Amino acid sequence: MLELDENKNVIYKLTEEERGLIKEHKLFYSDLFHFGNNILDNGFKETIQDYELTIYSMIYRILELLDTLKIMTENSLINSGFLVLRPLIEVTAQLRYIIMDKDKDKVKERATILQMLDIKRTAVDETAFYNSMNNQECYKDYVHIIRDEKKYLEWYSYCERKKITIKQLFDLIGWQELYQNLYSPLCIETHEINHLETNIELKNVINDKRFEFKPFRGFENHVLLLNSVITIMIYSFHDVVYTYGNKDLKCEWELWEKKAIKYIKENHSIHNNIAKKINPLIKWFGKVDF
């Protein structure tokens, strides 16, 4: 509900019902932590292979971003939460690119190339770096890929032996709909029309010479954020659980995924009913079907 603060600014204050819903939202995050931590604890052998360190680290990074989003949800910092979605999508897309191939040699190559390029960023001398890589069993078979190929901005271009844009990466992993309906709008919001940061509506500036600040913390945005997080994680953790999870975890995930998809479908109508004057971002978001 809308109230005036001590400075007579319009603010949105959560009702008791909405606070209760936030507690329910946190349960989804707890479930995701359960699946992610189970994979980290049990999905890899005790002596992890070198290339798997990349995969392990990416899953850990995803859990860090989810923890950030959970804290933002607890404190109703929803505007900033939308900006965290973008790196969450990027890391989940790159993780899928690594693990989606049934050819284990491809998985190993992609993870190792990313790992080597990360190490290369810290190298003072390029020649010494390549000499060091050539002397290490886990890297020597891939040195020629990053040394002899053209220089690319993105690591996955080395894997494909040609320039690959982020959009083309989403095409490769089959996430075209997620790119169009979620990632691309978030890029627009970050780089072009940043309603999340400014939250200002220009009104009769010539005549009235004033700005009108809009209330932007309607609870519908909590639902929009959670739906977006769940959508991303269904895409991502489906791969992770079925690649690294045991039989029991896969059964748990199957049930959770059905529950999550049902939640998204039931709440998507809320997205379409958010007034644009409250949340201009919604006009960019499309529907992601399962």
Range in 53-62, 87-96, 255-264 with the lowest mean pLDDT: 255-264
Which has more confidence, 213 or 21?
Answer: 21
Q: Is the pLDDT assigned to residue 207 strictly greater than 80?
A: no
Q: Is the pLDDT assigned to residue 277 strictly greater than 90?
A: no
Q: Is the pLDDT assigned to residue 203 strictly greater than 70?
A: no
Helices (H) and strands (E) in the chain, counts: 14, 4
Q: Is the pLDDT assigned to residue 200 strictly greater than 50?
A: no
Nearest to 181 by CA among 128, 103, 140, 235: 235
169 three-state secondary structure? helix
Average pLDDT over residues 210-221: 48
172 three-state secondary structure? helix
DSSP string, 103-146: -HHHHHHHHHHHHHHHHHTT-S-HHHHHHHHHTSTTTGGGHHHH
pLDDT in tens, 247-259: 999 999 999 999 9
